[in-house]
Amino acid sequence: MINHRGLRQLKKSESHHQGRINTMSEERSLFCQVNKAKDSNNMTDLEKKHTPVISVPAEIRAGETVEVTVEVGKLLAHPNEPGHFIEWIDLYANWVFLARIDLSAVTTQPTLKIPVTIPHGIENLTLRAFERCNLHGVWEGTVEVKVA
């Protein structure tokens, strides 16, 4: 549909996104939930670009300090431009907040590195990372860590 200025208008049910048309309901659903890869062995490009990847030893001794790295775009590069970028990354131990990094477009890379000490008394640990893309909402990545 062409508007009075001669510009193409999208129908109510469409939005223009990176050279293709998606239904608005598909785009809206990304912002109505925490998104996760449906199958970690067969991820879509969207999932590869947005799923936070957590790097940490598979086993940690209680009281030991280890470096935890969270990277967005490790599996497939995520855009980092003014109109499309990662806004923040959060890290949790189970559901306990550990850290947040706020990012700006272009000049920062979507990576969080932090030393973490797991207290005594915890046997199994799920590290959870959440990130927010300004166009595709919040995404979660997890990794199970054995605490000895």
CATH superfamily membership of 35-147: SOR catalytic domain (2.60.40.730)
At residue 31, the pLDDT reads 86
Contacts with 24 (C-beta within 8 Å, 6 or more apart), sequence order: 12, 13, 14, 15
Let me know: does 123 contact 147? Beta carbons within 8 Å. yes
Q: Is the per-residue pLDDT at 104 higher than 90?
A: yes
Tens digit of each residue's pLDDT (9 = 90 or more) over 53-69: 999 999 999 999 999 99
CB 84 within 8 A of CB 132: no
Q: Summarize the confidence of residues 101-118 as an average pLDDT.
A: 97
Tell me: pLDDT of 108 over 50.
yes
Query: CA–CA separation, 137 vs 135, rounded Å?
Result: 6
Closest CA to 13 of 22, 3, 1, 4: 22
pLDDT in tens, 70-86: 999 999 999 999 999 99
The whole-number average pLDDT for the span 102-111 is 97
What pLDDT, in 10s, does the model give residues 5-56?
Answer: 444 444 444 333 443 334 445 666 888 899 999 999 999 999 999 999 999 9
